[in-house]
Amino acid sequence: MAQRTDFKMKYVYGPVKSWRLGNSLGVDLLSQKQKQCSFNCSYCQVGPTPFYVLERKVFVPTEDVVKEVLSVKNRDIDYITFSGNGEPTLALNLGETIKKIKQKRKEKVAVLTNSSLLFRKDVREELSYADMVQCKLDAATDRTFAIISTQSKAITYNSIIAGLKLFRQEYKGELCLQIMFLQSNINEAEQFVLLAKEINPDLIELNTPLRKSQEKPITPKQMEEIKKLFYEFNVRCVYDKHRDPSVPIDKKTTEKRRGKEL
């Protein structure tokens, strides 16, 4: 029997039907009223970033998060996924929380990151505990990066690319490179292919904003032409996947972290 859906969760949300990860139970190590992020992406489903956050710190207690994850029972879960209302690698207890959850739960652990802090050794080491890390790369040039992922001057496009390459060299799990295609970067598709060859991910996800966003998605036909360029890679595409409705434990907290769309 599925767990009741009126249970109040503070740090955990879902499970949701993810085209990327199957039945995904979300973990938000940030869990603040305002988004905590190093980027202000034009397509973000949870809205604009009120201020840039670059300092790593503990936002919520590790034991409280682990306890809440362990409380979720009688659910078919494929991945326990660290994402939430901002950039999860900003949480200083990310690695500690992953390790403690993996000691108690059988499901695989994934982390969704915007790649902004991969240049940091401590972040790369903590991400190494996850079974899968999905790294975002939405621009193939510095100019487009500044347009799509507006960021603090402390983070540069070159540091992101360098961080991705370093992480690939060190990481033993499944590395997924996710590219969000918009009208502003669609002409860089061939350059993305070249970057992907340099990074050498295990999987490439081709995405476009299908949830509520100020950006319009590219068409299925446009995506199909882009997909052909990545023929040398293991690729999956958002238009290839059918998403069933989700039945989360706590609908309100899940909507908050997914742009009020399930």
Q: 3-state SS string over the chain? A: CCCCCECCCCCEEEEEEECCCEEEEEECCCCCCCCEECEEECCCCCCCCCCECCCCECCCCHHHHHHHHHHCCCCCCCEEEECCCECHHHECCHHHHHHHHHHHCCCEEEEEECCCCCCCHHHHHHHCCCCEEEEECCCCCHHHHHHHEEECCCCCHHHHHHHHHHHHHHCCCEEEEEEECCCCCHHHHHHHHHHHHHHCCCEEEEECCCCCCCCCCCCHHHHHHHHHHCCCCCEEEHHHCCCCCCCCCEHHHHHHHCCCCC
d(CA 246, CA 198): 37
> Going by C-beta distance under 8 Å and a sequence separation of 6 or more, which residues neighbour residue 213?
43, 44, 45, 259
User: Where do the domains of the chain lie, and which CATH numbers do they carry?
Assistant: 12-257 (3.20.20.70)
pLDDT 10s digits, 197-246: 999 999 999 999 988 778 899 999 999 999 999 999 999 999 986 655 55
pLDDT 10s digits, 247-258: 555 555 555 554
Q: What is the pLDDT of residue 243?
A: 56
pTM to 2 decimal places: 0.88
pLDDT 10s digits, 107-150: 999 999 999 999 999 999 999 999 999 999 999 999 999 889 87
Q: What is the pLDDT of residue 251?
A: 55
Q: Give burial (CB, 10 Å; 0-12/13-18/19+) of 152.
A: middle
